[in-house]
Amino acid sequence: MSTQQFTQLPHKLLSVPGPVEVSDDVLLANAHPSMSHVSPAFAPVFGNCLRMLRQLLYTESGQPFIIAGSGTLGWDLVAANLIERDEKALVLNTGYFGDSFADCLETYGAKVTQVGAPVGGRPTVEQVEEALKKEQFKLLTFTHVDTSTGVLSDAKAIAETVRRVSPDTLIILDGVCSVASEEIRMDEWQIDAVVGASQKGISVPPGLSITALSQKALKVLESRKTPVASYFASYRRWLPIMESYEKGTPGYFATPSVNLIYALEASLKSIVAGPVSLEDRFRQHRDAAKRFRGEARQLGFETVATEDEACANGMTALYTPEGVAPPALIGALANRDITIAGGLHKDIKTKYIRFGHMGVSVVERPTDVTKVINALRESLAEVAPKSS
């Protein structure tokens, strides 16, 4: 039994916006024999991951954190550490995940103002500027790619606006569905926190909360007037652990997800030190998304994102053509061994479908995207109402 056959058992091609396909090397690393989290052999693996995350986020002074959890835990990390009860947060809303981040912030006592847009749209820079001028916000959050709508926010423009209009406001980029599929230049754009996860562009199985803080965010953490509002999600407790592992010395606060960190190391190596440069990686994602959208539109689908510049590059949400019910199409694709996702946004839930095209399926196996497009064409032909 070869390595490849062994890890990649027959399975439906995963084309949802996370979890995504995982390479054999990474699955292999996830099957690493059990290791102590404080063993001298494991510490450098953890350290490598932290260093490679800095490369991926184009940051020198940013502090990455790898914590057992999911992307959602990153919201708690922000809400419990970077803002205090009754302080104000501005949430730019481009879908389900904006609502949820706002909900999380309110759980920890923040006063949330939201700037939204009709489904498929995104707040304009002018709207953001106007909101920032009305009140002083401790932090602003935006969903870089909202997994429910496939809407891409213009991270650079948002950050520029905040720095110009309200320089003290922390800029929080929710990158759960964008890290490693969209370019994020943390230092250049002056992003204060990136919230990510393992199972999207990074192409590792789910189970890791991956975040990074700027030095400015670390100072805000340090100078809190009230205690951090969580124990497990306390950046203060995790900071010395990350610093320690990066030096090659194990630290202990809570047991890290050892095997997933081996898997993360394997995947990050291929991302930041593989044959494809980071710049090319992001270009490949843009190209794949453009191709996918083009083909889908030719078939009669419309993107949920209302303009091309607001279409994510690692996923696409598509309204199905008139008379084509999403469940029928999802079923027809499943019969062709392809898994796609149904709707998530409450206002349009029954009218659209979602596809992932990120990570391994774009960079290492671009034929995955072709397979999905072909299967979509066949499935549509099968389930579309026949014109008489």
Choose among 378, 371, 380: nearest CA to 353. Answer: 380
Residues in the chain: 388
Residues 6+ apart with CB under 8 A from 373: 291, 292, 295, 296
Nearer Cβ to its own copies (16/276):
16
Query: Taking a C-beta distance cutoff of 8 angstroms, is the pair 200, 163 a contact?
Result: no
Residue 221 contacts its own copies per CB under 8 A: no
CB of 292 to its own copies, least distance (A): 18
Residue 244 contacts its own copies per CB under 8 A: no
Residues numbered 321-380 forming contacts with its own copies, rule: CB under 8 A: 339, 341, 344
What residue has token string 């922000």?
78
Query: Taking a C-beta distance cutoff of 8 angstroms, is the pair 147, 18 a contact?
Result: yes
Nearest-angstrom CA–CA distance, 62 and 44:
19
Choose among 120, 179, 130: nearest CA to 155. Answer: 179
Residues numbered 58-77 forming contacts with its own copies, rule: CB under 8 A: 68-73, 75-76
Nearer Cβ to its own copies (22/363):
22
**Per-residue b or e along 83-122, where b marks 16 or more CB atoms closer than 10 Å to that residue's CB:** bbeebbbbbbbbbbbbbbbbebbeebebebebbbbebbbb
Residue 225 contacts its own copies per CB under 8 A: no
Determine if residue 354 is labeled as part of a ligand binding site: yes
Interface stretch with its own copies, choices 26-34, 214-222, 264-272, 291-299 (CB under 8 A): 26-34
Interface stretch with its own copies, choices 22-30, 44-52, 321-329, 363-371 (CB under 8 A): 22-30
Residue 83 contacts its own copies per CB under 8 A: no
- Among residues 201, 205, 251, 314, the one that binds its own copies under rule CB under 8 A: 205
Nearer Cβ to its own copies (248/294):
248
Count Cβ atoms below 10 Å from residue 377 Cβ, excluding itself: 14
In the complex, the residues that contact its own copies under the rule CB under 8 A are 1-3, 6-9, 11-12, 14, 16, 18-22, 27-28, 30-39, 68-73, 75-76, 79-80, 103-104, 107-108, 197, 199, 205-207, 209, 227-234, 252-260, 339, 341, 344
